[in-house]
């Protein structure tokens, strides 16, 4: 299964996007802001407040001790660990991760738990059928 996160709006405080499953829109996303490129071409990273780099990453569902439940986890993200897809309504809820939901206005999400449930169901079904699950962030 192929997930695609298309970032569509980048501001000084948040990043909005659209999440697609096998080419079909599923929901909106909210992430922290991407940071400026620093000396030597490296990106400045602020723990829990920096969006991950663009790229393609495998996705698994594992138990999160900090979120107290089973959540999608992105693997092999350069310079980042513990990047999950989870519920939340504002950039303050991201913890550096990707939030899913419906965006009624820029910078916010609603019905996040509903959309997270739908996404986890799709990932679980794909895994049960022996499919790998990948996300491309662009």
How far is the C-alpha of 39 from the C-alpha of 41, rounded, in Å? 5
**Which pLDDT score is estimated for 58?**
98
Please report the pLDDT score of residue 35 as a whole number: 63
Q: Give the per-residue pLDDT at 43.
A: 57
Determine the pLDDT at residue 79: 85
Residue 118 token pair: 């739908």
User: CA–CA separation, 63 vs 104, rounded Å?
Assistant: 30
pTM (predicted TM-score): 0.91
Residue 34, classified by CB atoms within 10 Å of its CB into exposed (0-12), middle (13-18) or buried (19+), is: middle
Which residues in the chain show pLDDT less than 70? 35-47
What does the pLDDT read at residue 44? Answer: 57
| pLDDT reported for residue 49 | 72
- Residue-level pLDDT at 100: 98
């Amino acid at each position: 299964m192929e997930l695609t996160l298309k970032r569509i709006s980048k501001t000084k405080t948040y990043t909005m996007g659209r999440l697609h499953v096998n080419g079909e829109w599923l929901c909106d996303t909210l992430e922290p802001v991407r940071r400026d490129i620093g000396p030597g071409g490296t990106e400045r990273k602020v723990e829990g407040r920096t969006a991950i780099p663009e790229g393609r990453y495998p996705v698994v569902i594992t138990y999160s001790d900090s979120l107290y439940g089973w959540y999608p986890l992105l693997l092999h993200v350069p310079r980042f660990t513990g990047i999950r897809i989870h519920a939340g309504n504002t950039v303050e809820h991201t913890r550096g991760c990707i939030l899913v939901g419906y965006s009624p206005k820029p910078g916010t999400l609603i019905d996040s738990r509903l959309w997270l449930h739908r996404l986890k169901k799709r990932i679980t079904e794909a895994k049960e059928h022996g499919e790998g699950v990948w996300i491309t962030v662009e």
